[in-house]
Amino acid sequence: MPLEHLWAGWRIAYVTEAASEATAGTEAPSESIFTQILASGRPDVETHILWRGEHCFAILNAFPYTSGHLLVMPYREVGQLPDLTPTEHDELWRAVTDAVRALSNAYQPEGINVGMNLGRAAGAGVPGHLHVHVLPRWNGDTNFMTAVSGTRVMPENLHASAARVRAAWPRPAEQP
């Protein structure tokens, strides 16, 4: 079977912008965008925080690939997996499992992507604050709009996605 390619041409603007920012010599903010959101004092429903644990939290991705695309991460800014404490590590992966359950219940997807981009070269948009992407997927969810015009058609706004996933998030009594 020949190798096929899926072209994501809309990503070049992000890649070149991220590369130029990395070499621009400008001082990076002292806190990640996630830490800034947590410190903002704004309500979770406004910031799209879906769940809070003792060491980690889940938030809806503000620039999703699909409806329900969320991020799970520690409160503490760390860039690499080995930098997590054992307690952070355990809670992070329990929360990722809960996120998969929530997305399965909320959207009934045909599949779910779970992944991390560690370091700018790996595609991390916020390399100093690791986060796990969890997003529902469906057969054929990349369509002509994305391929032809670099546009994603999101059938649900962020507030509706956050409410749906928050309602489906497993409660402690529901967990095995």
Best CA proximity match to 159, nearest among 90, 60, 66:
60
Strand ordering across the sheet containing 111-115? 49-52, 56-60, 70-74, 132-137, 111-115
Sign of the torsion formed by the C-alpha atoms of 56, 126, 130 and 158: positive
89 part of the active site: no
Q: Which residue in 48, 129, 131, 133 is the catalytic one? A: 131
Best CA proximity match to 135, nearest among 168, 106, 113:
113
How far, rounded to the nearest angstrom, does the alpha carbon of residue 72 sit from its chain's CA centroid?
Answer: 7
Q: How far apart, in Å, are the Cα atoms of 142 and each of 5, 63, 121, 145, 164?
A: 13, 15, 24, 8, 22
**Could you identify the residue written with the tokens 């809960």?**
98
**Active site members:** 131
